[in-house]
Chain A
Amino acid sequence: MGLRSFIFKRLIYSFILLLVIIMLNFAIFKSMPGDPIQFLMQPWGKESPEARRVQEDLLRTMWGFGDPIEIQIVKYIRNLLSWNLGIAFTSRQPIAEVAARKIPYTVLLLGASTAIAIAIGVLWGILVIQRRGGLFDSTSVAGSLFVGALPTFWLGLVFLLFFYSILHWFPNAGAFPREWAGNWPTLWSSSGNTSPTAFHMILSLNTDGVLTLLGGYLHHLFLPLITLVLFFVGGWLLLTRATMIETITEDYVVTARAKGLKERTVLLKHALKNASLPIITSAALSFGFLLTGAIITETVFTYPGLGAWIWDAITFLDYQVLMAIFYIVSICVIVANIISDLLYGIIDPRIKYG
């Protein structure tokens, strides 16, 4: 079986997975407490019971609650596949719109921290392998195990305690300074030109404003970022160490050493290259958890991404939002799975499909 049919098979499989997730969502939706009609009736005032009943029936037919279950399922699948995620219980806004506002923050936070953690973790892992068996090795491994076992939110709380409550170095909430709301730093000096071209815009860029903007965002990003990096780095360190240990006992590494190559060259050129396969694929996989990984950390720092949204949804038991987030996150994971499968095949020529 070739690569193409493998991809096709994976896509089919992923689509089935997506359908399973939607069905699961549907089952949860059906079993959750409360009548959706009552939710839809909320704006309906204090009209007479008869009028209410008429309206309720109208809504029921309109939203399809009276349909047979299989039609409801089909409609549900169609809606979710077309990104129609329903209305948030509390804010009464379309969930897809709110999600579009929240996801960039999460992606920024998680993308940055995952990238940094991978870089640091892999480098550290190589350093550890060079000094394997020593004190540096054992403390690094024990340290990563311990930090990895810490609850992320607790790590965040401790950072907040030190850097916000005691030292006042970093803010405790939000993604940008609160006083910016309605008073954003000016990025462009106004030139009076009503329809500026791209060229004009670049020329009239206000450096101070840009720097303030960047600084404000980074200042707020720092603590959650550091928390996540610390939390992730141990895993990468351990993974690199484990795969490298596996490879340095292989015959070709022994041969390379016997040739009289420098230890550095042996490690980087021979061992790391061959050990990099699981590292790269799990890096791809880890980007699938781009949206979930920060849920807990975001709640600690009230960072306005998916995590803070989940926190609010839990406080008001907004099932719609929780289910939508679950759906969005699942899609992200599925896509990452496909990508990592493909990467595996592209990078490692030994892989046979089938």
Chain B
Amino acid sequence: MIETSTRKSKLAFRLSRFLRFLKLLVSKKKSAFGLAIIFVFFITAAGAPLMTPYTALGEDPSSPLFPIGTNTASPVWLRYFPTWLGGDPTLSEQMNIVKNPGLPKLTSEGGDWSIDVEGSGVSDPSIRTDVGYPLPAPPGFKEFTQNGSLQIMFSRTKGTFYNGTKIHIYTVFDYPYTGPPGRFIGNIALLVNGSTHEVEKLVKKAVNGSLTFVMENVTCLDVPIVVRIYLGQQGGKEWKLWPCPYVDALNIYPPLGFATDPVTRQPWGIDKPESGILAPGGWIIARDSAATKGGHIDSDSNSLVNELTEFGKESAPHRLVFTNQTTYIYGIEITFLDQEDSTKDVSTEVFIDDFGLRLYGTSFGLMGTDHHGRDLFSQLVYGTRISLYLGFTVSIFSVVIGLSVGLAAGYLGKAVDEILMRIADVLLVLPGLPLLIVLTAVLGATIENLILLLGVLGWMGFSRMVRSQVISIKERPFVEAAKAVGAGRFHIIINHILPSVASLVYISLATAVPGAVTAEAALAWLGFFDPVRMSWGRMLHANFEANALTNWWWVIPPGLCISLLSVSFIMLGFALDEILNPKLRLRK
């Protein structure tokens, strides 16, 4: 009974003492400043997922294969900045033209797409929920996961003939910015099916390792189609975005009008279903995925092959397309090439899926993007975690080593003292940064290695302080009294000596952080960074590598964060020093 009550009162006493200590800390200007900043950084680190929807590297977790912005985009607020301060009102922002690309609904059903039909033979398009590309959706493509596609059916009975029936499916949108977007990426998946016939064709084939032409029977559509995807000002110039696939066969050959060798030359835009199933015919897709690298309709790639002559030497089509602040049109035109053949009923059906267009603005987010189109603000926010994690683990690690070495050397003395202090001397003399560079080069630059190295190389000064304190304490009468009573070595160290160095421990815990943070930044700057983590130092390294020094919104924040964090811990250390070493308080 008595035992527990004393323990309780002891605890209460300790708690009240701690609270008083905290109050003292907060009342001091230096420590209040330091604690406030550290607190803000802690909140940032903990609330990072709430502050940004992107990953720590600044990528979009739902569709990692798409960039989330243009490369080295400016921050959005730069649009409203005065021009003499570097603002640019012509900057554009991100636009998702199609609300739900996964299921291309018509406007009559509340979707994006309008329809125009020239000629006859086409029945009303309808949504088919049982057909869709792909099944299942590739991981990471959140917006394409909805199954279902838009079915367009062309059919006629034998004896009739509809030449050149065309269908346009398009969406119209206003482009509100004076400047062009940074780039655009469109995507579409098409599936073509229908009645077929066999045709003997000259096929280029690899026979015994050499290419020869062979006559072969090829299954062809009775009514082949030509596809054109276009983008342009409504009623003005329309730019063709994709070379027209001329689809006349159900298998992959010949996928495009100009493709000659499907084996060696995999034309982009045409893709076997990733599963390898040819059953419903091949999906023709234009989308950036691992299977169809460069297969999207993209202002950066040469997907505007047919228009390249018109574009001339301008390598950035988005600048030519989006010249005005007007209404633009994006759509697909399918021409059914009916052939006069009165022997049978013919039909061709086309399924359209994943039809979308994304305009990437020249500005993005709070801090713009890096040279890989990744969000810089997320990198900054998540960088807080790395710095805090590294700073605290290193400081704890080095303090634990320093404390044990200092206690052992100071209390045990003699040979132990001599050996430990000589080791400390050697480590103190070694130039820190070059040694760190050599060791990280050999060990690899993961955060864990860095923590280990910084901890092992950072305890010497502290252990010296502890040692001198211990040496002066162990001669005090109360230690002798404890010895006389018969207390063991361990007991004396823990109960009588440790409390006297506790203030040193607190101070050192605070002052070891900034060194670790800046050391990590320096190493990351030199090129030793954890490849899977984006720290503040690495952000600066990336900026230097990308030669984007003028993007000051990329350069200034990480450095300021590093120094703010360091300064706040230095301030805290100073305040602790003043509180815990009362001698200093007298001096002014």
Contacts and interface: CB of A to CB of B under 8 A. Distances in A.
B570 A145 contact: yes
Interface string B529-560: 00000000100100110000110100110110
- How many interface residues does chain B have, given as a range? 35 or more
Interface string A293-337: 001100110000000001100110101001101100110111001
B559 A314 contact: no
A143 B182 CA distance: 41
A161 B544 CA distance: 11
A287 to B, nearest CB: 13
Nearest to B562: A151
B364 interface: no
A245 interface: yes
B431 interface: yes
B429 A160 contact: no
B540 A153 contact: yes
B430 A330 contact: yes
A154 B570 CA distance: 19
A115 interface: no
A314 B437 contact: yes
A26 interface: no
Interface of B, helix, strand, loop or mixed by DSSP: helix
A31 B442 contact: yes
Given A28-B438, A292-B431, A20 B525 contact: no
Given A31-B442, A151-B525, A292 B518 contact: no
Residue picked from A166, A291, A314, most chain B C-beta under 10 Å: A314
Contacts of A289: 431
- How many interface residues does chain A have, given as a range? 35 or more
Contacts of B430: 21, 24, 330, 333
A157 B518 contact: no
A310 B549 contact: no
Contacts of B432: 292
Interface in B417-472: 426, 429-435, 437-439, 441-442
Contacts of A11: none
Given A146-B567, A165-B549, A334-B429, A326 B558 contact: no
Contacts of B527: 311, 314-315
A17 interface: yes
A311 B526 contact: yes
A157 B537 CA distance: 12
Contacts of A20: 426
A145 B568 CA distance: 10
Residue picked from B426, B434, B435, most chain A C-beta under 10 Å: B434
A149 interface: yes
Contacts, number: 125
Contacts of B567: 145-146, 149
B438 A326 contact: yes
A157 B426 contact: no
Contacts of B431: 289, 291-292, 326, 329-330, 332-333
B538 to A, nearest CB: 12
A149 B518 contact: yes
Contacts of B414: none
B514 interface: yes
Nearest to B566: A149
Residue picked from A154, A245, A322, A337, most chain B C-beta under 10 Å: A154
A38 interface: no
B168 to A, nearest CB: 49
A154 B562 contact: yes
Given A20-B426, A319-B441, A325 B522 contact: no
B336 interface: no
Contact of A158 (B434, B550, B555, B588): B555
A133 interface: yes
A299 B552 CA distance: 19
Contacts of B562: 149-151, 154
Interface string A10-25: 0000000100110010
B560 to A, nearest CB: 8
Nearest to A323: B438
B445 to A, nearest CB: 10
A197 interface: no
Contact of A295 (B434, B528, B588): B434
B441 A154 contact: no
A154 B434 contact: no
B265 interface: no
Contact of A310 (B435, B526, B555, B558): B526
Interface string A174-211: 00000000000000000000000000000000000000
B585 interface: no
B522 A153 contact: yes
A249 interface: yes
A32 interface: yes
Given A299-B525, A330-B431, A157 B437 contact: no
A153 B429 contact: no
A323 B555 CA distance: 31
B313 interface: no
B457 to A, nearest CB: 12
B521 interface: yes
Interface in A227-262: 245, 249
B342 interface: no
A207 B499 CA distance: 70
A299 B540 CA distance: 13
Given A149-B518, A151-B562, A314-B526, A161 B549 contact: yes
B537 A151 contact: yes
B518 A299 contact: no
Residue picked from A153, A300, A317, most chain B C-beta under 10 Å: A153
Contact of B434 (A149, A165, A311, A329): A329
Contacts of A315: 527
B588 A299 contact: no
B549 A154 contact: no
A133 B526 contact: no
A158 B570 CA distance: 23
Contact of A326 (B437, B537, B556, B559): B437
Given A32-B441, A157-B544, A314-B526, 9 more contacts: A151-B563, A157-B555, A158-B556, A289-B431, A311-B527, A323-B438, A326-B435, A333-B429, A334-B429
5 contacts: A145-B571, A150-B562, A158-B556, A296-B433, A317-B441
Interface of A: 17, 20-21, 24, 28, 31-33, 132-133, 145-146, 149-155, 157-158, 160-161, 164-166, 245, 249, 289, 291-292, 295-296, 299-300, 310-311, 314-315, 317, 319, 322-323, 325-326, 329-330, 332-334, 337
8 closest residue pairs by CB, A with B? A154-B559, A149-B566, A326-B434, A150-B563, A149-B563, A329-B431, A292-B431, A314-B527
